[in-house]
Amino acid sequence: MGKRDLTINAKDFNLDNIGTTFELLDLYPVFNQVDNLDENGNQQFYKNGNVMTKETDEITGYMYAVKVLDGKFKRKTQTVKINGINPLMTIEKFYDSDDVKIKFDNLRNSYIGQNGALSYLADSVSLVVDNKVKKSDEKAGK
């Protein structure tokens, strides 16, 4: 048995299985990032050697901040990115809604940061059938 066989790493765990149903806490756009160039067109770098970037006005996807509602990570929070320009709902509609429950299609871990933070990606998102509408909407007959 080699040394490699004794080492535990992130691939030994199923990081994709964090839950099936989520409460939407926040929704915001993700903008395209481009290299930050100096006046001569050269890439700029931070002191640690990373390339400086800046956001453009182009939306490339949406980030969904969620609370896990089931499984062993119940009550934990996470963000999930979905590429594409069509969000589940407008940000205004989300802020006018109460208790928005969602599920993701093909939810998977996409990155483990140096500090151990996990990033997630999904192909699509949909509403769970038993979503509640805002109480003021019920009274107004909406």
CATH 1.20.1510 for domain 18-128: no
* pTM of the predicted structure, to 2 decimals: 0.74
The predicted-structure confidence for 37-56, as pLDDT tens digits, reads as follows 888 888 888 888 888 888 89
Q: Are 68 and 19 in contact (CB under 8 A)?
A: yes
Angle made by CA atoms 9, 14, 20, in degrees to the nearest 5: 150
Q: How confident is the model at residue 11 (pLDDT cuts 50, 70, 90)?
A: low
